[in-house]
Amino acid sequence: MRIARLGWEEMEGFTARVKYHKAGIIRLLGHLDTARALLRAVRRAGIEGVYSEGFSPRLRLSFGPPIPLGCTSECEYFDIRLARKCEPESVKEALQAHMPEGLVVEEVQILEGNVPPLSAAFRAVEYEVEPPQDWRPNREKLDLPRWNKRSPASGSYSMHDLGILHAQWQEMNDGKRLLSLVLRRSASGGVRLKEAIGHLLGIGPGELHKVRIHKKRVYPEGEQP
């Protein structure tokens, strides 16, 4: 698609904030490889972005915090610093035509002026956790309110220690249990997330690969979970 079709206007100081899904086999692609795939999609879509200065100019893209390998998500984000203003739907259509299978563009917002980085744009993140099929619940672990009465001094963790703002079990129609977790931004990715899940389910690091983790939503600054 040629740039002329994207409806550019001769204006500067705009950022395209792209919300996308990550699912299917591409969930096994790490954060850096996912970032490279998105960069290629932006270039192939013909989106005219702003480049950094210096000996090796780079397209100014920024990405949200990484999610654990194997985790699916319906609320991933990345930002493209634009050379000119354009229509959100045009950017969405152009991007989706070049996205690899498993990455689906959900929404594009055009933000004006100085935009806070994605690492500081959200207050908390909500995850949906499904334990492995052979998991045997520990009644003490399932009693979530008790976690707030524990402390590191007793050799255990509290929810605050693990960065958990909210936790709730849901009983499904087929008898399965799902754990809904809302974590602080600083504890919402990678090692801290898996540490929290491991402690709540009472399983070791070697069993965490059996847990299905899905990133459900993010809470912007100022919005309470």
Q: Are residues 162 and 191 in the same domain?
A: yes
Paired tokens of 208: 């965490």
* Whole-Å CA distances, 110 to 87, 100, 157, 221: 8, 23, 42, 19
Residue 36: the pLDDT is: 94
The residue from 77, 95, 115 where one domain ends is 115
Count of residues making up the chain = 225
Range of the domain at 146: 121-220
* Digitized pLDDT (tens) for each residue of the chain, 225 residues in all: 333 334 444 444 899 999 999 999 999 999 999 999 999 999 999 988 888 777 877 888 999 888 888 999 999 999 999 988 889 999 999 999 999 999 999 999 999 888 888 878 888 899 999 988 777 765 555 555 544 544 444 445 566 667 788 888 887 777 777 888 888 876 555 557 888 888 888 888 888 888 999 999 999 877 777
Whether 111 and 81 share a structural domain: yes
Q: Indicate whether 57 and 101 sit together in one domain.
A: yes
Nearest CA to 45 among 109, 125, 100, 85?
Answer: 100
9 is a domain residue: yes
User: Cα angle at 68 between 161 and 135, to 5 degrees?
Assistant: 75
Same structural domain, 61 and 130: no
- The domain that holds 187 is classified in CATH as 3.30.70
The number of folded domains in the chain is 2
Can you point out the beta strands (E) in 47-163?
A: 61-63, 72-82, 103-112, 122-130
What does the angle CA 215 – CA 216 – CA 219 come to, to the nearest 5 degrees?
Answer: 105
* Domain assignment of residue 225, yes or no: no
pTM score of the predicted model = 0.81
Q: Which DSSP string do the residues of 157-201 spell out, in sequence order?
A: --TTTTTEEEEEEEE-TTS-EEEEEEEEGGGSSHHHHHHHHHHHH
Would 70 be classed as within a structural domain?
yes
Of 67, 92, 115, the residue that ends a domain is: 115
pLDDT for the residue numbered 102:
94
What is the rounded distance in angstroms from the CA atom of residue 2 to the CA atom of residue 71?
35
In a shared domain, residues 21 and 100? yes
How many angstroms separate the CA atoms of 103 and 95, rounded? 10
